[in-house]
Structure 1
Amino acid sequence: MSFSKRLEDARKGFLKGDPELSAKAHDVQAIRRAMHHRERHASAGSEYIGSMVYGGLDGIITTFAVVSGVAGAGLKPEIIIILGLANVFADGFSMATGAYLSEKSEMELYERERQRESWEVEHFPEAEKEELRQLYLAQGYPEEDANQMVEIKARDKQRWVDAMMLEELNLLPADTKPLTSALVTFGAFVIAGLLPLMVFLLDWLLPFSLSGQSAFWISVGVSGLALFGLGAAKVLVTERPPLRSGLEMLLVGGLAAAVAYLVGMFLRSLGLNG
């Protein structure tokens, strides 16, 4: 049994009140096999699922809002394509840059604090032991257990520093790379962001003689399906019910598009659509 399958069974057993499934997931041999499997076959790239899902959601919602606003203003499909593409690539780059800088800053903070803790452990070991002991006592451990835990951690400098980073600073090492996160975010944003524009792009490249309104409603349908699908895919990150998650994102994206459409109509009523 893989680690992910054991974890999934444990969750299902708890949620469904199924003692058999829970017991199966907590079999000692199953746990050992699952942990061994996890160490050897860790899923490459799974840590970037969040960047992929949220980048895609942002991409489709913002582009769909642009399409709706331009359509509400009654502007030509060519304007939708121009503004939509500008939004996709500019906002996608902005999001990717933000993801890169944010993760890079977190990594730099972690490394800086780790260097400090490592230096303190080396130069003030007794003080650091006492600090860790007090942290364990504050968590409710009996004094004897706290002392024993400190001595165990202090046997290995790396584990000791790891403990100080976690217990004192609540810091964990990043499991993602800033540049990879940025590229994943950008790719997901662009791919999902192009979906509301696809019908307009295809009608421009391979003219189908669609009216602006027909193309807009096709875009609405495609965007709605994509929003629901990406919202449901959030279960990979949040582990919430996929139907509820999909409907929530459909509602959020729909409201954003509706607001943009109404703004476009209002501006058109003022004669600002040329």
Structure 2
Amino acid sequence: MSNVKAQNSKELSELPTLESSVDSYHLEDHLGGNGPSIKVLVFGGLDGILSMFATVFGCAGASISPVQTICVSIGSLVASAFSMGYGEYVSEIAERDYMNSELRREQIEVEEKPECEKKEMYDIYTGRYNFSDEDARSLVDIAFRNKEFFLRHMMVEELGIMLTDQEITPVRRGILMFCSFCVLGAIPMLGFIGFYIGESGSRLSKIMGYGTTSFFSLVATMALGYFKGSYMKQNPIQSAMKMTFNGIVVGASSYLMGYLVTLMFPEGEPITP
């Protein structure tokens, strides 16, 4: 008997303690609290690069002059950046309003009809997660002791809404979207303007301008994809290749559509509404 106790004591002593487990957990490399900002920057930057890449090559396919291409691109850049920034602001406001309204509704139901809310969580535990009757009731009773935890838990399980405390404000999201779209969206234009000599410039200068635009755009999308993959702890090379493929498809399709439209409406034939 003493040998059995000694063996059990030895096995228990070899188990990791709660403190060591917690220390190991906190040593993990997490993404941190900048996720929402990074998401907005990547989305806005990628949309800016590809939108301007498509604009420049759509103009190229339509045989529009370099001066007109620059004017159209600048106007599209500013207007699209404002639209994206304001759209991000409005959508975030709408999402927060919806989340707050559902939270208030659940708070009222928990206060006025606690048994109904418990029954809903019980059904989720038994139906979705296959907990036994006894375990489900125990989980509901334990969770309901902390009303705030119960509310947050119910918002996720019943409505799919994750309540977060460290989100950036809607105004900041809109500004980040506008700035990232403008700054990164200017990259394709810089490549084109850099080789622009004049409206009567040589054919070679135009080809070099469009080629530089392609190079700048694809390198920018590749770099953005690599950054996203590295930050999200994914394969950065694979992420960069996916972004680059997206850029190639966007540039080729916009050029093709511009070229096809000019065939449908030859120069000198006005397009009337």
TM-score, normalised with respect to structure 1 = 0.78
Pairing partner for 1:259 from 248, 253, 256: 253
The amino acid of 1:262's aligned partner reads: L
* Unpaired runs of at least 5, structure 2: 1-15
- On the 8 A contact 1:75/1:273 being kept in 2, the answer is no
Give the superposition deviation at 1:158: 0.9
- Using the TM superposition, give the Cα deviation of residue 49 of structure 1 relative to its aligned residue in structure 2, in angstroms: 0.9
Which amino acid letter does the alignment assign opposite residue 271 of structure 1? E
| Count of aligned pairs | 245
- CA separation of 1:229 and 1:150: change in aligned 2, threshold 3 A: same
Distance 1:181 1:92 in 2: 13
Q: Name the CA shift for 1:167/1:265 in 2 (closer, same or farther; >3 Å).
A: closer
1:210-268 Cα shifts (integer Å, max 9, x gaps): 82222221111111111211222332576542222222222221122112222333445
CA-to-aligned-CA distance 1:77-126 (integer Å, 9 cap, x gap): 22121111111111111122222222221111111111111111111122
Q: What letter corresponds to residue 48 of structure 1 in structure 2?
A: S
* Counterpart mapping for 1:236-255 below 5 A: 239-255=233-249
- Is the deviation greater in 61-70 or in 90-99? 90-99
In structure 2, do the counterparts of structure 1 residues 34 and 273 end up closer, same or farther at CA, with 3 Å as the change threshold?
Answer: farther
Map 1:45-56; keep pairs closer than 5 Å.
45-56=34-45
User: Structure 1 CA distance, aligned partners of 2:196 and 2:17?
Assistant: 60
Q: CA deviation at 1:165?
A: 1.0
Residue deviations 1:137-188 (CA, integer Å, cap 9, x gap): 1121111111111111111211121122122212112534322222111111
Whether 1:182 and 2:174 are equivalent positions in the alignment is yes
Please give the secondary structure, in 2, of the residue aligned with 1:74.
Answer: coil
RMSD (Å) for aligned C-alpha atoms: 3.0
Q: Partners of 1:100 and 1:143 in 2: how far apart?
A: 45
Partner of residue 169, structure 1: 159
Larger radius of gyration: 2
Q: Where do 1:1-274 residues align within 5 Å?
A: 31-33=21-23, 43-138=32-127, 139-174=129-164, 175-202=167-194, 211-235=205-229, 239-268=233-262, 270-271=266-267
Q: Percentage identity across aligned positions?
A: 30
Are the structure 2 counterparts of residues 88 and 273 from structure 1 closer, same or farther at C-alpha, using a change threshold of 3 Å?
farther
| Distance of 2:20 and 2:84 partners within structure 1 | 41
Which residue is 1:5 aligned to?
none
Contact 2:195 2:208 survives alignment (8 Å): no
Return 5+ residue gaps in structure 1 as ranges. 1-25
The CA deviation at 1:27 is 9.3
SS in 2 for 1:234: helix
